Amino acid sequence: MPSSGHRLRDVEHHPLLTENDSYDSSSSSSSEADVADRVWFIHDGCGMICAVMTWLLVIYADFVVTFVMLLPSKDFWYSVVNGVIFNCLAVLALSSHLRTMLTDPGAVPKGNATKEYMESLQLKPGEVIYKCPKCCCIKPERAHHCSICKRCIRKMDHHCPWVNNCVGEKNQRFFVLFTMYIALSSVHALILCGLQFVSCVRGQWTECSDFSPPITVILLIFLCLEGLLFFTFTAVMFGTQIHSICNDETEIERLKSEKPTWERRLRWEGMKSVFGGPPSLLWMNPFVGFRFRRLQTRPRKGGPEFSV
């Protein structure tokens, strides 16, 4: 059996680090507790614009539903019930969006492909591991490199600019909740728009809104278009995510037709692994596991992310 020195010579012959990698060992010296206390965020201009647009569109929908359709209504309970339902869906959707955007999707530590780390792995003779040449890390099984996050992400499904983050092992459940709540709020807004149009036509556009008829029509039409667009996009994404989870196959793995080398968790087992625990109402709660985290900045060396 080859000795550890033989394995070390193999590492030296096929170096995991080159001069161009410029790995700084001090950058990876923080403890796992410190990493857990940080909030993940990606510095990507397109992603940040898309994330802000998402929030503005949801706020616009809430404004139209509340101030154009519900408050002018003469039916008190109709306004209260629909207002509570829509605003709850909007809060849950935006909360899920925040959790998706600010949660580490499963990033592999940068620059851990060192001889010291290799020796700590206690590899068996002939065991093969992979190094990502872009972020200089030991690449776990099912991890893929994201060119926007500039990190290898465990079980990376895709990078979504609308949440300004990758969808991966640790934040997929929040992305699924985000698409579900946006789809539900879009359906609710479309139903309210239809009822409002009927009410305004019957009342000759006189008392159906506090705004003038032309402004009311423009606001309702734009909300209908937004609702149709959001519903179509999020319903499709929700369906593909549930399909991927139940088949234990990420979108990247499906597109690349990668043959599974891992033990698949199908259907409910896959859902339990993503959402945690047996089926319960906690699966629908984006606040599960939330805690306030300390502000902590760190220098950026070739990567767009920072921690707060």
Catalytic residues: 160
Angstrom CA distances, 113 to 68, 110, 129, 132, 135, stand at 58, 8, 10, 9, 9
How many whole angstroms separate alpha carbon 28 and alpha carbon 242? 35
User: Is residue 58 within 8 Å of residue 65, measured between CB atoms?
Assistant: no
Query: What does the block give as tokens for 238?
Result: 């929700």
If residue 137 lies in a helix (H) or strand (E), which one and from where to where?
A: strand 137-139
If residue 182 lies in a helix (H) or strand (E), which one and from where to where?
A: helix 172-202
Torsion of CA 50, 53, 55, 60, to 10 degrees: -160
Nearest residue to 154 via CA among 303, 301, 273:
273
